[in-house]
Amino acid sequence: MLHIYNTLTHTKEKFQPYHKGSVRMYVCGMTVYDFCHLGHARVMIVFDIVQRWLRNIGFRVEYVRNITDIDDKIIKRSLELKKDISDITNFYISAMHADERALWVNSPNKEPRATHYVDHMIEMIQQLEKKGLAYHAENGDVNFKVRSFPSYGKLSRKDLDSLRSGERVPVASDKHDPLDFVLWKHSKENDPDDSKWNSCYGIGRPGWHIECSAMSHSILGLPIDIHGGGPDLIFPHHENEIAQTEGVYGGVFSHNWMHCGPLMVNDYKMSKSLNNYCTIREAIGYGNLSNDEYCVNTREAEMLRFFIVRNHYRSKQNYVIDNLIDAQSSLDKLYSAIINFQFDSDYCVDWSDPSATEFAEAMNDDFNTPKAVAILFDLASKANRDNCVRSARQLKSLSSILGLLNQDPENYFKSNTRYGSGSIKSVYLSDEDVELLVLKRSQAKKNLDYKESDYIRNLLKESGIEVEDLPNYSTRWRRF
């Protein structure tokens, strides 16, 4: 029996879809004005695992992940590039699909675009106004009246008064309350024509939050079983979605709210200003990066997937070089365990084997993929130790449920990687990677953690890098 942690109740709950045997899942998707980054990769892969497992245990799954194709950032980009909005959004949608394919992410059943549902959004806004939950502001916007929705804050467990006292910005004159949010935004004169819709509220465009409420309702109806997304969507986006949907239709919007944990880069939240921003294609591609099809380093692409899958989806995950090196060598071990065996093409899981029972128990416990991956390593050991084809086959078939071990092992090992430890692979440590490791080693030395500093020194040595210590903890490095 599957149990899933629910952000709304802060507990693991027995999962029972509203309609027996079929699951309706909505996940907030990308705003398509740039290439997808590593945080997007985590959302894509986490909910891919969720849909794969739900299907594996016999549910029909209707998985919807929307595309936000109208938004301030898209408008800004359209004005900057003097291009039609659809040219920009179509380009980045193709790029997103190429990223998904590269990471073995199975597509959702539907990917609605916000611009196709504007009429439904306007209808919902009218309903909210009728119910006293929305008002027409002086500047031409229509806002949601947060104070009039009594359960506002139930998902994020925020109390309106404390939220308000934490509010440092002065109340915008067009809002009755600083927490009120935009449902319909009036157009500015120089906004591009393709960002404008006619409505009873004048010419404008929908706010971001109402897009998801309308698309979800329109395609999946109510209630849905799982609503998911990244961790920064809990507040205000999902809180606002609940207020809008339950404000219009009453009842429950979604029985379960699933959020993955944050993906950090080098211990920090990823941001362009911190210079640690990384797109999926920068992480796994080489060459020809501007196209919707690009050259993927399949070994690193699967390493990225494995890196995400082997962590629990709710945990904080740190994209940092030593974690990547470890992920790559671990994945190499799994491939090594199957390389000497030949399988029929229709290998499938032997569910009578205890390894499969344990695997299912782990996955049914709130998608405990770290445990599931540990079972794969047990099978790899058995396959190696006893030269056991049954274990190898079971390893291959259970891995495929997680979208892992997709490649022919020989081809996999022919692909280069920056994250290996052998002398041939080592040349692929970039200058930035080396700088980072040297810095980490210096930090370890400062902390008197000589075990760690020696480990990094050896790692660098294996990669053809020599580090020289200078006074005052400074260092100099060179390739040899």
Residue 273 structure tokens: 């200003």
In whole angstroms, what is the distance from residue 281 CA to residue 364 CA? 32
Does 227 belong to an annotated binding site? no
Tokens of 74: 């898209």
Does the annotation list 28 as a binding residue?
A: yes
Minimum distance from residue 67 beta carbon to Zn ion (Å): 11
In DSSP terms, 229 is beta-bridged to 259
Q: How far apart are the C-alpha atoms of 367 and 46, rounded to whole Å?
A: 9
Tell me the closest approach of the beta carbon of residue 38 to Zn ion, in angstroms: 20
CB of 220 to Zn ion, least distance (A): 13
Which residues in 313-352 are b (16+ Cβ under 10 Å) and which e? beeebbbbbbebbebbebbbebbebbeebeeeeeeebeee
d(CA 343, CA 109): 31
Least separation in angstroms between residue 259's CB and Zn ion is 12
Nearer to Zn ion, 225 or 433 (CB): 225
User: Of 68 and 328, which has the nearer Cβ to Zn ion?
Assistant: 68
SS3 per-residue string spanning 88-155: HHHHHHHHHHHHHHHCCCCCCCECCEHHHHHHHHHHHHHHHHHCCCEEECCCCCEEECHHHCCCCCCC
Cβ nearer to Zn ion, comparing 244 with 453: 244
Helix (H) or strand (E) holding 24: strand 22-27
The alpha-helical segments, DSSP class H, found in 221-319 are: 239-249, 280-284, 298-309
Closest separation in Å from C-beta 369 to Zn ion:
24
Q: What is the C-alpha to C-alpha distance for residues 246 and 222, in angstroms, rounded to an integer?
A: 10
Residue 212 among known ligand-binding residues: yes
Which lies closer to Zn ion via its Cβ, residue 62 or residue 332? Answer: 62
By beta-carbon proximity to Zn ion, the closer residue of 103 and 214 is 214
- For residue 104, give the nearest of 356, 260, 283, 303 by alpha carbon: 303
Shortest distance (Å) from residue 279 CB to Zn ion: 21
**Measured from the CB atom, is 28 or 54 closer to Zn ion?**
28
> Given the complex with Zn ion, which of 28 and 234 has the nearer CB atom?
28
Contact assessment for residue 100 and residue 107, using Cβ atoms and an 8 Å cutoff: yes
Nearer to Zn ion, 28 or 395 (CB): 28
Token pair of 319 as six digits: 């994209």
CA 165-170-173 angle, to 5 degrees, is 125
CB of 408 to Zn ion, least distance (A): 39
Q: Whole-number minimum distance, CB 26 to Zn ion, in Å?
A: 8
Q: Are 215 and 114 within 8 A, CB to CB?
A: yes
DSSP-derived letter for residue 397 is H
Q: Which is nearer to Zn ion, 215 or 363 (CB)?
A: 215
**Which residues here bind Zn ion, judged by CB under 5 A?**
28, 212
Residue 272 marked as a ligand binder: yes
Cβ 122 to Zn ion shortest distance, Å: 18
The terminus-to-terminus CA distance of the chain in angstroms comes to 56
Cα(210)–Cα(122) distance, integer angstroms = 9
Known binding-site residue numbers for ATP: 272
Query: Residue ranges for the binding site?
Result: 28, 212, 237, 241, 272
Binding residues for Zn(2+): 28, 212, 237, 241
